Chain A
Amino acid sequence: MKTLLKDIFSFEDRPRFERIGFLIFIIIILIFPFIVKSAYGRAVMIKFLLFALFGVGWNLIGGYGGQVDLGQGKNVGFGAYTTGLMMLWWGIPFWVTVPIGMIIAAAESFGVAYPMFRLKGHYFAIATLCVALVWKELFVFWDWTGGARGIEIPVKPHPNFYYMQFGSPIYYHYFIFFLFITQVLFMNWFRKSKLGYELQAVRDNEEVASSLGINVYRTKVISYTITGGLGAVGGSFMTSYYLYIDPDFVMPLDLSILIAMTVMVGGGGSLWGPIIGAAFLIPLDMYLGAWLGAKKRLGIDFMIYALIMMFIAAREPRGIWGIIERIRKRK
């Protein structure tokens, strides 16, 4: 029990500058709502934390596992719809719906992982993409999920900690920060766990991994299942934050790819990579898009986006974190 708690909360094995950096980062997030008063700035911050949350979860299979999964959107959708529908139909409190959403997403991931991990590399990536697309179409097609019109969550008197509905974004800011931190701590534990080590061995070389007694297939399936569960948490948050969800909003292809992109740009397989990636891409997306949109230069932001992405992919496949580590080593 003691070692478990230590594994969760201790960053002792990381270099000092990382620990200090993370501490400064947390302090900035904590005091952020008191410094920035603009509604847009706060919305950008919440979106950043949401995508950092997605990235940290996806990093498990995508970074530590090295499996390019382009279907995390479906798990976000499962979380969002579980929370949304359960609130709408039965008025079940938010905190009850979160674990249920996670279980549903994990169960579905387990089911599809079974045949999917017969594939490798690009073929696996395409399969994940297809599964996510199928689910999205199903949610558009089904009537009981509200179809393409989506569902609206009845508004409760604010602030409401049962249904996690608040009038002010400050609440949401700390709410998403809490969810984000829990996943960072989970990943901090995971990377030191037996499964974490085994998954990294599988990523580096499957042949070697199996020669060391690791069941490669099982390791991948379990990791994919956990990743599915982690993805659902952010979906539940989206429901309570936006109070309106539809398949095009919570489970589109763009979302799946953006999640994968934040991790790849930031640096997969490291604790901080996804956070850095989200800190880079989300503000860029929201400010550049808004600024160029206002000047009637639609589309240019995507081009800048793509250029940066190509630059990083060409220069350092391990992303921004890889660049930082390389600079540090040179010193």
Chain B
Amino acid sequence: MLLEVRNLVKEFGGVIANADISMEVEEGMIMGLIGPNGAGKTTLFNCIAGYYRPTEGKIFFNGKEITGWPSYKVARIGIARTFQGMKTLPNLTVEENVMIGAFCCTNSREVARKDAHEIMELLDLRDKAYAFPKELPIAIQKRIEMARALATKPRLLMLDEIAAGLNPSETKEILQLLKMIKEEKGLTLLLTEHVMEFIMTISDRVTVMAAGRKIAEGLPNEVASNPKVIEAYLGERYAKC
């Protein structure tokens, strides 16, 4: 088991964002995390990535407990993440953005640059190396974020709403890119998304959250026909028929 979340609870001053979430992600799989807005997906992400300290519960990575670790330590152990919305480093070029990720596992600038170029090649960013992220289209900015996260040489890559704000053809493109990277690097992926279509086509397993709770887990088509899931997405009336 690469990632294991055990009975995780996260409260914000009385508001329960995550209630008793348990989840297991096996090495090499693509786990999709879906749920309506406000279901607590990003909170769970932030707990795993070390941005929030869980109120209760435990998180294990590769058999090691990482509950409450600071985010930079989580990154160094092999969990990389992207953020919801664009968070590029605006005053640095694309190359430097990716290099900073690569510095995670090396002290040498030459090695970092070499690694960065390898990853930029893979994500087809090479010709944009000296541009600034803000000058580029959103779809490319998303790729920059992915490249930066990949440069830290992770075993688990967590993507928070990577398809948000993209049009269908761009979404398709990023889907193929993800599959290709996963094969190439032998990654495990954890994705959140509220676009059902995207996640259903790519995931091996899907976990569904609603109002801070985990309501279902299983294969994509199993989950899609689960009445509880339909209820969470469409309301009680549709679940009955």
* Interface residue tally for chain A (C-beta within 8 Å): 23
B49 touches A212 (CB 8 A): no
Which residues of chain A are within 8 angstroms of B149 by Cβ–Cβ distance?
Answer: 211-212
Which residues of chain A are within 8 angstroms of B105 by Cβ–Cβ distance?
Answer: 213
A211 touches B103 (CB 8 A): no
Q: Would you give the shortest CB distance from B78 to chain A, in whole angstroms?
A: 10
Of the candidates B70, B83, B112, the one whose C-beta lies within 8 Å of that of A208 is B83
A204 touches B92 (CB 8 A): yes
Of the candidates B70, B100, B110, the one whose C-beta lies within 8 Å of that of A3 is B110
Indicate whether A264 reaches chain B with its CB closer than 8 angstroms.
no
Q: Would you give the shortest CB distance from B151 to chain A, in whole angstroms?
A: 8
A212 touches B148 (CB 8 A): yes
Indicate whether A269 reaches chain B with its CB closer than 8 angstroms.
yes
B70 touches A210 (CB 8 A): yes
Interface residues of B in 102-121 (CB under 8 A from A): 103-105, 107, 109-110, 112
Indicate whether B188 reaches chain A with its CB closer than 8 angstroms.
no
Of the candidates B72, B81, B109, the one whose C-beta lies within 8 Å of that of A193 is B109
Given A192-B109, A193-B109, A198-B103, A211–B81 Cβ distance below 8 Å? yes
Given A201-B89, A204-B91, A212–B109 Cβ distance below 8 Å? no
A43 to B29, CA, bound (A): 70
Q: Would you give the shortest CB distance from A211 to chain B, in whole angstroms?
A: 5
A214-241, CB under 8 A of B: which get 1 and which 0? 1110000000000000000000000000
Interface residues of B in 121-172 (CB under 8 A from A): 148-149, 151-152
Indicate whether A203 reaches chain B with its CB closer than 8 angstroms.
yes
Interface centre among A205, A212, A214 (most CB of B within 10 A): A212
Indicate whether A123 reaches chain B with its CB closer than 8 angstroms.
no
A207 touches B51 (CB 8 A): yes
Given A197-B99, A205-B89, A211–B109 Cβ distance below 8 Å? no
Which residues of chain A are within 8 angstroms of B96 by Cβ–Cβ distance?
Answer: 197, 200
Given A194-B103, A212-B101, A212-B104, A200–B70 Cβ distance below 8 Å? no
A207 touches B91 (CB 8 A): no
Given A193-B109, A210-B70, A212-B100, A200–B89 Cβ distance below 8 Å? yes
Indicate whether B185 reaches chain A with its CB closer than 8 angstroms.
no
B72 touches A216 (CB 8 A): yes
Q: Would you give the shortest CB distance from A184 to chain B, in whole angstroms?
A: 19
Indicate whether B87 reaches chain A with its CB closer than 8 angstroms.
yes
Which residues of chain A are within 8 angstroms of B100 by Cβ–Cβ distance?
Answer: 197-198, 200-201, 209, 212, 214
Indicate whether B174 reaches chain A with its CB closer than 8 angstroms.
no
Which residues of chain B are within 8 angstroms of A198 by Cβ–Cβ distance?
Answer: 100, 103
Which residues of chain B are within 8 angstroms of A7 by Cβ–Cβ distance?
Answer: 109
Given A207-B83, A208-B89, A194–B72 Cβ distance below 8 Å? no
A65 to B204, CA, bound (A): 43
Given A197-B100, A201-B100, A210–B91 Cβ distance below 8 Å? no
Give the nearest-CB partner of B97 in chain A: A201
B92 touches A210 (CB 8 A): no
Q: Would you give the shortest CB distance from A235 to chain B, in whole angstroms?
A: 31
A210 to B49, CA, bound (A): 10
Which residues of chain A are within 8 angstroms of B104 by Cβ–Cβ distance?
Answer: 212-214
Given A192-B109, A194-B103, A197-B100, A211–B91 Cβ distance below 8 Å? no
Q: Would you give the shortest CB distance from B77 to chain A, in whole angstroms?
A: 9
Give the nearest-CB partner of A212 in chain B: B101
Give the nearest-CB partner of A204 in chain B: B89
A205 to B89, CA, bound (A): 6
Give the nearest-CB partner of A197 in chain B: B100
A192 to B105, CA, bound (A): 17
Indicate whether B80 reaches chain A with its CB closer than 8 angstroms.
yes
Of the candidates B75, B83, B87, the one whose C-beta lies within 8 Å of that of A213 is B75
B103 touches A210 (CB 8 A): no
Indicate whether B90 reaches chain A with its CB closer than 8 angstroms.
yes
Contacts A194-B103, A208-B148, A212-B80 supplied; 5 other A-B pairs, CB < 8 Å = A198-B103, A201-B89, A208-B87, A213-B105, A214-B72
Name 24 A/B residue pairs within 8 A (Cβ), A-sorted.
A192-B109, A194-B109, A197-B96, A197-B100, A200-B89, A201-B89, A201-B92, A205-B89, A207-B51, A207-B71, A207-B83, A208-B88, A208-B148, A211-B71, A211-B149, A212-B80, A212-B100, A212-B104, A212-B151, A213-B72, A213-B75, A213-B105, A214-B72, A269-B91
List chain A positions with a Cβ less than 8 A from chain B.
3, 7, 192-194, 197-198, 200-201, 203-205, 207-216, 269
The 8 closest A-B pairs by CB, nearest first: A213-B104, A204-B89, A213-B75, A210-B71, A213-B76, A210-B72, A201-B100, A215-B72
